[in-house]
């Protein structure tokens, strides 16, 4: 019987092709955002290793046709293609009304930057230069945001049509062009080109790239297909990153339309791994908070006018499920017996963590421990230390159960178990402002580079870069000050630490000039003689979503973009005038004949428009601007100070006040007259306004006194900023009168401060500075 059945089946297969007996895989099309390269290795792996096939999909992968005028987003919306990869422009298009679904993100940072000739170091230097693809570059969100800060439009440079070749730049036919750090830098270095990199990320642009998306129509029709495509793609990327050499073989064999070499693809693979940040974020994850920040950037820069969809971004992002594991019986028993836990931190390592002057734990790690306390219901107490070295000693001697953040090293594993990575951040080189950016560390041979003694990456860097002269410093501030003073060429440290120090203490004096391949990968550490600890906290870390992790990170690290003007009161007043004017127009319509009606309405509408423009200017000047200096007035400063006191009281973040008074200003008016005095006040305001952060608020407090409100600035940062202002004034040669100095009072917010108390303290500090002989800055707390 079995033989008969097999014979029947054999003839059936001969008569009917197997494709008619078995269900066909559904054919879908994936459109790439550029030509074949390692940038899309995860998609190739999902196809070639059968991950797409396993979920019933036959995926056709198409290169981008850069000569095609239609947008890939339009092709997805019209259902010409099913899935596509694009930039953060999908967020812009969604905000502007297109029904898209954001499926997954793979590159957490954008590799798209500007390469410039050696004499062009800043975005402002682009003026008058030959910019290949300049007009097209302005359509890119990151470039638009960066160039907009320097008021650069398409009229400020010579636009050269984009030919997608780097050769014209190498031959110096053009001065500036856009490139990808992942691959085109390799070509520049290979050909020995001399260049600078202008990276939008250094100017606050933070956009996702390699974004997988589809249309809402496609998702509503086939939700399971879309989810299956996402999961298979994530598997593909996981495989690609773990088998880079194999994927390079596949690309060379099947996807090498650009004729790249193995060496070139390997360079690209390593660069892309840095962009994916797999040790920090789950592959394919999307942070809703980050999407919201990108959306806010589009609105703030005027790229998007319609705000109606800002509150509906949850409908745009396809979110995966998050696991929520519970503690085991043994773990609960351990905690009951332990009763309380202790932890140590690096006492001076902001924005990651610090012990402030009041002995409190501040910084990024604090937010994690707040979550841990809430979840465990067990006291977790901070053990105070004086230095990082002492922290390590306390951990070795078991005075602490937990290390909040640290790198995993062979030596530390002798007494600690480590969690999975909490975060990963690049190591960068901080230098003076006049040093151009380089992505080739070899060009720094013989330079003196500061590095904090006993930091875990010290030995690694010394072994990999023996041609650099590393010099041990006590701490981050010691290293950065030695760079400013010229004792060191640069200082190597973590990017967030450098950015924090730049904003808080060394404003306008330092910059990032290079990035190392090595990363600072931070873990939690747990005493290894109590192994239950590491399993408990590994479970806790797993329930914290990537969105929450990124929210915590950006709370302390991301740069704040706050508009320097508050139009709320202006708008309310405008609406009032609009109402009054429209009311009169309405009654005029009732009283006039039909023939005169249209002409009168047109006249009144034009009059309304003109009145609104006039009222807008007058009201803005009246309510928030000092008429002489064109900076904020006291009324605006009062409002901002009230906001900062409320915010600091609620969040615990410090802010500082810097009160500046021109020394012997009365003599200027007496000797030169009030017109010259007014001129000095205007120039003085200009000096104070230089190099302030966007979040800082500068205004004229009265007479020759000026006030600066500095959010998220502690005592050290405020002192450094005030001293920088004082020396800038001292060096300035004012029109008509020459040199002039100023006295400065500084204070920092502390708990229960009112506006009156903190202002009195700043005023007392200013008075003390004058009593000490003027041209001084004094801090009082």
CA 632 to chain CA centroid, nearest Å: 28
CB burial of 513-548 (b: ≥16 within 10 Å; e: otherwise) equals bbbbeebbbbbbbbbeeeebbbbbbbbbbeebbbbb
Q: Is 620 a catalytic residue?
A: no
How many other CB atoms sit within 10 Å of the CB of residue 311?
A: 10
Tokens of 585: 């127009």
Ramachandran sector of residue 724 (left: φ over 0; alpha: ψ -120 to 50; beta: rest):
alpha
What is the phi/psi pair of residue 492, to 5°? -100, 130
β partners of residue 382: 343
Ramachandran sector of residue 376 (left: φ over 0; alpha: ψ -120 to 50; beta: rest):
alpha
Task: Please tell me the distance from the alpha carbon of residue 359 to that of residue 354, in angstroms, as a whole number.
Answer: 9
Q: 481 CB contacts (<8 Å, ≥6 apart)?
A: none
Task: Please tell me the distance from the alpha carbon of residue 161 to that of residue 136, in angstroms, as a whole number.
Answer: 9
**Cβ–Cβ < 8 Å for 424, 520:** yes
Tokens of 199: 């990276």
CA 704 to chain CA centroid, nearest Å: 37
- Residue 613 exposure: Cα atoms within 13 Å on the Cβ side: 5
Taking 3-state DSSP, the helix, strand and coil percentages for the chain, each rounded to the nearest 5, stand at 50, 20, 35
Annotated catalytic residue, options 263, 704, 730, 756: 704
- Of residues 510, 418, 503, 542, the one with CA closest to residue 713: 503
Question: Is residue 705 classed as helix, strand or coil in its secondary structure?
Answer: strand
How many other CB atoms sit within 10 Å of the CB of residue 28?
A: 19
**Cβ–Cβ < 8 Å for 549, 364:** no
CA 229 to chain CA centroid, nearest Å: 29
- Of residues 27, 344, 33, 405, the one with CA closest to residue 182: 33
Helix-then-strand count for the chain, H and E: 30, 29
**Cβ–Cβ < 8 Å for 107, 209:** yes
Q: What is the 3-state secondary structure (H, E, C) of 145-161?
A: HHHHHCCCCHHHCEEEC
- Of residues 513, 464, 507, 472, the one with CA closest to residue 490: 513
CB burial of 382-397 (b: ≥16 within 10 Å; e: otherwise) equals bbebeebeebbebbee
Q: 553 CB contacts (<8 Å, ≥6 apart)?
A: 364, 423
Dihedral angle of Cα 179, 182, 184, 188, to the nearest 10 degrees? 110
**Cβ–Cβ < 8 Å for 484, 507:** no
Question: Is residue 704 classed as helix, strand or coil in its secondary structure?
Answer: coil
**Cβ–Cβ < 8 Å for 589, 601:** yes
Identify the DSSP state of 310. G
Q: 636 CB contacts (<8 Å, ≥6 apart)?
A: 566, 623, 624, 625, 697, 699
What is the phi/psi pair of residue 494, to 5°? -75, 145
Task: Please tell me the distance from the alpha carbon of residue 688 to that of residue 563, in angstroms, as a whole number.
Answer: 18
Task: Please tell me the distance from the alpha carbon of residue 104 to that of residue 390, in angstroms, as a whole number.
Answer: 43
The catalytic residues are 704
């Amino acid at each position: 019987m079995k033989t008969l059945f097999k014979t029947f089946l054999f003839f059936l297969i001969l008569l009917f092709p197997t494709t008619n007996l078995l269900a066909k895989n559904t054919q879908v099309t994936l459109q790439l955002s550029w030509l074949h390269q390692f940038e899309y290795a995860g998609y190739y792996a999902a196809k070639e290793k059968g991950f797409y096939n396993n979920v019933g999909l036959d995926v056709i992968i198409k290169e981008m046709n850069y000569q095609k005028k239609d947008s890939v987003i339009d092709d997805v919306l019209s259902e010409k293609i099913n899935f596509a990869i694009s930039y953060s422009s999908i967020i812009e298009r969604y905000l502007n009304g297109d029904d898209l679904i954001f499926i997954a993100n793979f590159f957490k940072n954008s590799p798209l930057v500007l390469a410039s000739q050696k004499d062009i170091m800043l975005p402002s230097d682009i003026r008058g230069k030959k910019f290949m693809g300049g007009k097209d570059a302005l359509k890119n969100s990151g470039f638009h945001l960066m160039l907009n800060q320097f008021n650069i439009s398409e009229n400020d440079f010579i636009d050269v049509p984009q030919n997608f070749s780097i050769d014209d730049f190498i031959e110096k036919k053009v001065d500036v062009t856009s490139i990808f750090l992942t691959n085109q830098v390799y070509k520049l270095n290979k050909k020995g080109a001399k260049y600078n990199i202008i990276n939008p990320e250094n100017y606050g642009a933070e956009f996702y790239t390699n974004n997988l998306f589809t249309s809402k129509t496609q998702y509503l029709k086939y939700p399971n297909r879309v989810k299956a495509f996402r999961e298979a793609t994530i598997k593909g990327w996981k495989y690609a990153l773990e088998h880079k050499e194999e994927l390079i073989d596949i690309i060379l064999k099947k996807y090498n339309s650009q004729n790249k070499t193995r060496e070139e693809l390997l360079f690209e693979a390593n660069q892309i791994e840095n962009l994916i940040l797999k040790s920090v974020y789950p592959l394919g994850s999307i942070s809703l908070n980050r999407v919201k920040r990108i959306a806010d950037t589009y609105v703030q820069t005027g790229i998007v006018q319609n705000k109606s969809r800002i509150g509906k971004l949850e409908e745009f992002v396809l979110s995966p499920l998050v696991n929520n594991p519970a503690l085991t019986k043994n773990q609960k028993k351990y905690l009951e017996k332990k009763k309380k836990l202790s932890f140590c931190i690096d006492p001076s390592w902001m924005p990651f963590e610090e012990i402030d002057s009041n002995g409190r734990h501040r910084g990024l790690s604090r937010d994690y421990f707040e979550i841990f306390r809430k979840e465990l219901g067990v006291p977790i107490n901070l053990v105070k230390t004086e230095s990082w070295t002492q922290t390590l000693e306390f951990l070795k001697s078991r005075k602490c159960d937990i290390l909040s953040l640290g790198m995993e090293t062979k030596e530390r594993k002798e007494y600690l178990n480590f969690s999975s990575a909490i975060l990963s951040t690049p190591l960068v080189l901080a230098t003076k402002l006049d040093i151009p950016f380089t992505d080739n560390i070899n060009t720094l041979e013989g330079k003196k580079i500061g590095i904090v003694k006993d930091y875990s990456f010290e030995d690694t860097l010394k072994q990999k870069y023996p041609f650099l002269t590393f010099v041990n410093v006590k701490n981050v501030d010691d290293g950065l000050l030695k760079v400013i003073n010229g004792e060191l060429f640069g200082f190597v440290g973590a990017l967030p630490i450098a950015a924090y120090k730049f904003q808080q203490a060394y404003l306008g004096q330092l910059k990032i000039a290079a990035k190392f391949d090595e990363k600072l990968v931070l873990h939690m550490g747990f005493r290894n003689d109590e192994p239950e600890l590491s399993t408990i906290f590994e479970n806790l870390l797993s329930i914290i979503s990537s969105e929450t992790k990124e929210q915590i990170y950006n709370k302390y690290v991301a740069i704040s973009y706050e508009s320097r003007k508050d139009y709320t009161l202006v708008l309310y007043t405008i609406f009032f005038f609009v109402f009054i004017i429209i009311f009169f127009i309405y009654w005029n319509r009732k009283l006039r004949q039909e023939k005169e009606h249209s002409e009168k309405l047109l006249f009144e509408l034009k009059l309304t428009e003109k009145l609104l423009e006039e009222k807008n200017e007058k009201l803005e000047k009246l309510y928030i601007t000092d008429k002489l200096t064109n900076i904020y007035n006291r009324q605006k400063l009062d409002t901002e100070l009230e906001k900062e006191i409320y915010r600091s009281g609620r969040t615990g973040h410090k802010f500082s006040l810097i009160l500046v008074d021109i020394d012997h200003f009365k003599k200027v008016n007496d000797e030169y007259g009030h017109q010259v005095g007014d001129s000095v006040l205007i120039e003085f305001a200009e000096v104070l306004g230089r190099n302030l952060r966007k979040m800082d608020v500068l205004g004229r407090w009265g007479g020759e006194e000026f006030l600066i409100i500095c959010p998220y600035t502690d005592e050290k940062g405020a002192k450094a900023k005030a001293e920088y202002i004082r020396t800038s004034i001292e060096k300035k040669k004012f029109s008509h009168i020459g040199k002039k100095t100023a006295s400065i009072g500084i204070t920092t917010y502390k708990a229960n401060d009112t506006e009156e108390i903190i202002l009195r303290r700043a005023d007392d500090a200013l008075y003390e500075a004058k009593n000490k002989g003027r041209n001084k800055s004094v801090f009082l707390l």
